[in-house]
Structure 1
């Protein structure tokens, strides 16, 4: 059985393996043991703190194959993007110019460096074993974070964003980076993303051009990358799009990948999830597949389960499900259909 839970320090070796396997562009997963150790310790502190309003907390989760005691995925929630330092992105909007004498008005799309998205809750660090992509396991890894937000709403903003990894070739080349960022850093795309993961995107962003970049002046290959998703990031995009997330006018400043945005209260797994009391049972006449989580904090757990559920009735879980979730008779769980 696959179980989503908070990361632990003992997960460090396997978390680094996941970081090594993740897409270039997932900068919150650096392949560096010290940085990952700090991330785990920071996450542990975040789960332990008594939080009434969202701050700098970072909640890191891992997807564990309990049968083989191995990690097959990971994800994070940063409570407040830009809390400690500006959260930079590129705003993609039209720049309008007009001439009364010539009776001409023209709009040109332009990219402007900004930190407009600071203050939103940020979903990041999504990575899953490629063999589990586009399965219920992907849904569990991505959407269980939303059940956690539903259970602990005071810890998060009323808006949620996520950056989807933009296009790069199999060799790690990004046409967008080559046309924009490389001129200011003289670094390959993969190396810039690696430095961003090891240090901070702030020092890189501060060297980016401070004036608008007019899109028509970029090579066509770079223009085509604006808002384009890396093929391996499509699964993550599709899951959140079904949750009600929408693209907006912001893109990643390194690869031009799209940013998704949603009002927290409108997200499907938050707005439509239900709570029920647990009733242990020996067997279940399953009639649907659900995401199920407890409402715990540090002991948060989530699974995918075949269930028979009627609104307002106790939820029958077998012994394996109860053990995986760490719940007993009368405890409350949260669930939503896949």
Structure 2
């Protein structure tokens, strides 16, 4: 139970989002430290919330906020994209193998190649998760991550059958990307930070315009570029484990900018989506088991860490969570064990 809740982002959150974006350290495409780009994200989110529960799957973005209910402080954010690749193509590199056999040498050669693909177009995506460094304890990262799946469970018709999550790749001490320097950077005349900022604010069509379409043999890359293919940024290892716990897997797709892993899952097989239950609040009292609870739809959606006791007549919810979410006996909620 906590005095923190997840809620829909509002216009007045722009400055908070901007302050958090400045703390990311770069390579965080979904949270650029650029106010017009963040403003555009909020506008897209408002439009998505306004489209109604029964709207078909389209290119929507939902921005959620982690708020301390007692102080009103914004301490984290996350994003959900309902279908990637509508506005501009969604590019990935797929790691593959080419096998060749020489009869004369009596040897088989296997070469690893990177192919530019749009295989993941049409998937939903969870991303843009950032938790303020001062709050990285007490399960708030887990609340941010899993509240997205509760939101998906509550609005399942708005999401695709497959879902992906891109993990930030390895960034060096100078803020550069060994993968970018070894592959795309050679064709673009801009460093990783410039390309990343451009992508965050203008989209990645420039990749389609300038990127070579033929496969890249990894043997021809620098050792530093090869070494980071498919590896998450050290700060993203916990996020990768959390995704694996939800049922996401790495299936040889990597980010075209930094080479970080793209994790995928069937939406209905995501653990939190699969295990979410609906219940009515039968009583408000202390004690119980740790859980995540959510209520409301679209812009009224909210979620918090809680303690509950399930019974045939509904659930008993702890008073702190009930107050944080403004819930009372008789209200309907979603819940999932923590």
Please confirm whether the aligned pair reaches a TM-score higher than 0.5, indicating the same fold.
yes
Q: How does 1:165-244 map to 2 (within 5 A)?
A: 165-244=168-247
- C-alpha distance in 1 between matches for 2:209 and 2:103: 37
- C-alpha distance in 2 between matches for 1:145 and 1:111: 31
Q: Secondary structure at the match of 2:28?
A: coil
Q: Does 1:248 align with 2:251?
A: yes
Structure 2 gaps, min length 5? none
Q: How does 1:1-338 map to 2 (within 5 A)?
A: 1-50=3-52, 51-100=54-103, 102-133=105-136, 135-281=138-284, 283-286=285-288, 288-307=289-308, 309-310=309-310, 312-338=312-338
- C-alpha distance in 2 between matches for 1:26 and 1:304: 26
Q: Secondary structure at the match of 2:33?
A: coil
Q: Secondary structure at the match of 1:96?
A: strand
CA deviations over 1:196-236 (Å, ceiling 9, x no partner): 11111121343122111101111111111001111111222
Structure 1 gaps, min length 5? none
Task: Report the alpha carbon displacement of residue 135 of structure 1 after superposing the two structures with TM.
Answer: 4.2
Contact 1:161 1:259 in 2 (8 A): yes
Q: Secondary structure at the match of 1:254?
A: coil
Task: Report the alpha carbon displacement of residue 322 of structure 1 after superposing the two structures with TM.
Answer: 2.5
Q: Secondary structure at the match of 1:310?
A: strand
- Superposition RMSD on alpha carbons, in Å? 1.6
Task: Report the alpha carbon displacement of residue 170 of structure 1 after superposing the two structures with TM.
Answer: 2.7
Q: Which moved more, 1:230-239 or 1:268-277?
A: 230-239
TM-score by length of 1: 0.94
Residues 98 and 312 of structure 1, relative CA distance in 2, 3 Å threshold: farther
Task: Report the alpha carbon displacement of residue 134 of structure 1 after superposing the two structures with TM.
Answer: 5.8
Q: Secondary structure at the match of 1:165?
A: coil
Q: Secondary structure at the match of 1:21?
A: coil
TM-score by length of 2: 0.94
Equivalent pairs counted in the alignment come to: 335
